[in-house]
Homo-oligomer: A and B are copies of this chain.
């Protein structure tokens, strides 16, 4: 009897989950051992199923996809995580990879990309959809490793209260000088906060900060 590679599916669309199951199980050696449409239930389900890999949609109700990645990583360091999503967004790729995912492909990609990704992750590689510019991703990864070199290992990604204040003011259109005035600190400190925020969020300019602030409801 062959050793099977067990995969768990997490996606809120039932039809998509079942389509994925068929695509994957056409390939010998791979088996879907379970599935869910609820991000909150991923951990409890894999606890008994102990799959080798989780294929995860980022946009599920109740729990943010990246948060699911974090929880899986906290529970088990060995399970491979493949993100399968509709979001063609460099920052999402970055966030998922630093959170502990090994792959990121798009729902608009061909079936063959899914299989390639699964095989790549199985053998220990990282796989990112060819829809993404390698240049951009490589830049982000490089920024990450620079940041990691500075401290122990995992880059700290959650913003501090002060950083959240600065992000809010920056996203509202304040310059570093105005941020400094409003918070009663020096321009240099405001600039320092802004740079730390950018490193944590994996963006390289003001536009990225504003998008993140709006996405995470820091403003508006």
Listed in ascending order, the chain A residues whose CB lies under 8 Å from chain B are 170-175, 203-211, 214-215, 219-220
Most buried by B among A174, A203, A207: A207
Most buried by B among A174, A210, A215: A210
Which one of B172, B206, B220 lies within 8 Å of A206 (CB-CB)? Answer: B206
A-B pairs with beta carbons under 8 Å apart, 25 shown? A170-B207, A171-B207, A172-B207, A173-B203, A173-B204, A173-B205, A173-B207, A173-B208, A173-B211, A174-B207, A175-B205, A205-B206, A206-B206, A206-B207, A206-B210, A207-B207, A207-B210, A210-B210, A210-B211, A210-B214, A211-B214, A211-B219, A211-B220, A214-B214, A215-B220
Query: Once the chains are docked, how many angstroms separate the CA of A214 from the CA of B207?
Result: 11
Q: Which residues of B contact A204 (CB under 8 A)?
A: 173
Q: Which residues of B contact A219 (CB under 8 A)?
A: 211
Q: Which residues of B contact A205 (CB under 8 A)?
A: 173, 175, 206
In the complex, what's the smallest C-beta–C-beta distance from A216 to chain B, in angstroms? 13
In the complex, what's the smallest C-beta–C-beta distance from A34 to chain B, in angstroms? 33
Name the 6 nearest CB pairs between A and B, nearest first: A210-B210, A173-B207, A206-B206, A207-B210, A173-B208, A214-B214
Q: Which residues of B contact A211 (CB under 8 A)?
A: 171, 173, 210, 214, 219-220
Q: Which residues of B contact A206 (CB under 8 A)?
A: 205-207, 210
